[in-house]
Amino acid sequence: MILFYSKTNKFVKKKMHVRIDQPKQAHRNHQKGILILARASIDKILHTFLYSTILAQARMRYCGGIMSENERLDGELAEAAKKLSSLGAKKGGEARALSLTPEKRSEIARNAVMKRWESNKGESLPIATYGSPDRPLKIGGAEIPCYVLDNGKRVLVQGAMLTALDMKQGTAGRGTGDRLLKFLSTRSIKPFADKYLNNMIIEPIKFRTAGGNIAHGYEATILADICDAVLEARKEGKLNYQQEHIARQCEILVRGFARVGIIALVDEVTGYQDKRTKEALQQILEQFIAKELQPWVKTFPDDFYKEIFRLNGWPFNTNSIKKRPGVIGTWTNDIVYARLAPGVREELHRIAERDEKGRPKHKLFQRLTESTGHPKLREHLVVVTTLMKAAGNWKEFKRMIQRALPAYNTNLELPLDEENG
């Protein structure tokens, strides 16, 4: 029995009778079945892999990651932070910083951000909403950076394709696309590579990363299509000796696609995929959420509230923080706790003790761990306050923080503690 992938994108079971005296044909059919399964499942691999990337990013970013401050900040945040820090970083710059008004400092930082954004205008490109260069797809001994774009396309970064196929850059072409196209146009491969594949190589997908940089990539299924063409050429004895190592790598990749793909399919059908995601989320919460209520210490700096007032055009004085509008609490949930780590905001609200009016009796940050939760909260507040100082108004700030620190959308049902009901 062999699985075929039909034009309607559904698996179709087909019986294939193989005579005992035709072992070669049986081997070809078996190999064809593996290729079909690989092509059918590669999109599922990328979907499953990148669905959990945001959780993996959180572990790298907040639970022991070694990324520096500037690496965590994407394009506009890095420019703003550098501009602000430069005011007091150098000898002699400190005096200048003291001579500037807060409005002037904000204007300098804002202009740096706007300059970066202006330079990127003029071309509307899809944006990578999932994926990170620090979390490549590892398969068949290759590491391939991959992303999911805001239009739903799964892409593999162009430059990694040659590495994945064990191909050298060469001197004939000017880039990855030229090298791949030249390879697919060789006399041995061309009969097995259709025009659609060639067209996709000629016109790679242009997109923006989360940091605003422009990148190029190919739809994820193209890698499986290239492997299919190479293995078909080898089966027909058309490859030359210089292409044999590429065929061996293609076979490794295809078997990797099939192996990982079938695991992903089983996980999805059985529901185990959701369990794995919940377990990863729970590990993050264990590092952030304290078992007991922690003593109150001043955590939110005055500048945090001062900048909120400024961005909304509200007058600010020494009593403004104590008598701040209630909407600031709602905003704090969004710009702080919802962006701190996956599931943290939901868990803090779930375990909070409440009064008769349903309001928390204690500050949410009093349930953060001393080892991880509080340090990461303080780091996050520094970044948020820096963004505020770089913005001219609340709307501009919200646009900047959404680009730099998007909220974690974890609509997962967290496991309840039996003791707390």
Looking at residue 266, its pLDDT comes to 76
Instruction: Name the residue among 384, 419, 408 with its Cα closest to residue 398.
Output: 384
Looking at residue 420, its pLDDT comes to 34
Higher pLDDT, 74 or 397: 397
Tell whether the model's pLDDT for residue 408 goes beyond 70.
Answer: yes
Dihedral in degrees, nearest 10, Cα atoms 339, 344, 349, 352: -130
Choice among 29-38, 293-302, 324-333, 365-374 with the minimum mean pLDDT: 29-38
**CA pair distance 45, 182, nearest whole angstrom:** 28
Instruction: Name the residue among 108, 119, 135 with its Cα closest to residue 54.
Output: 135
Give SS3 for 5.
strand
Count of positions (residues) in the chain: 421
42 pLDDT band (50/70/90 cuts)? low
Give SS3 for 146.
strand
In percent, the amount of the chain with pLDDT more than 70 equals 65
41 pLDDT band (50/70/90 cuts)? low
Q: Hey, CA dihedral for 119, 125, 128, 134, is it positive or negative?
A: negative
Higher pLDDT, 364 or 277: 364
Looking at residue 271, its pLDDT comes to 76
122 pLDDT band (50/70/90 cuts)? low
116 pLDDT band (50/70/90 cuts)? low
pLDDT average, residue stretch 132-161? 85
* Tokens at 48, concatenated: 């499953």
Higher pLDDT, 372 or 88: 372
Convert the pLDDT of each residue in 46-73 to its tens digit. 555 554 554 445 444 444 443 444 444 4
Tokens 């892409």: give the residue. 155
Choice among 140-149, 164-173, 306-315, 408-417 with the minimum mean pLDDT: 408-417
129 pLDDT band (50/70/90 cuts)? confident
Looking at residue 388, its pLDDT comes to 95
Instruction: Name the residue among 253, 248, 182, 189 with its Cα closest to residue 224.
Output: 253
Give SS3 for 242.
helix
Tell whether the model's pLDDT for residue 171 goes beyond 60.
Answer: no
Choice among 276-285, 332-341, 348-357 with the minimum mean pLDDT: 276-285
pLDDT average, residue stretch 151-155? 87
Looking at residue 404, its pLDDT comes to 86
- Mean pLDDT of all residues belonging to the chain: 75
Tell whether the model's pLDDT for residue 317 goes beyond 70.
Answer: yes
In percent, the amount of the chain with pLDDT more than 90 equals 34
Looking at residue 141, its pLDDT comes to 77
**CA pair distance 301, 381, nearest whole angstrom:** 8
Convert the pLDDT of each residue in 195-250 to its tens digit. 888 888 888 999 988 777 899 999 988 999 999 999 999 999 999 999 999 999 99
Looking at residue 134, its pLDDT comes to 83
* Tokens at 337, concatenated: 């706790």
Higher pLDDT, 357 or 123: 357
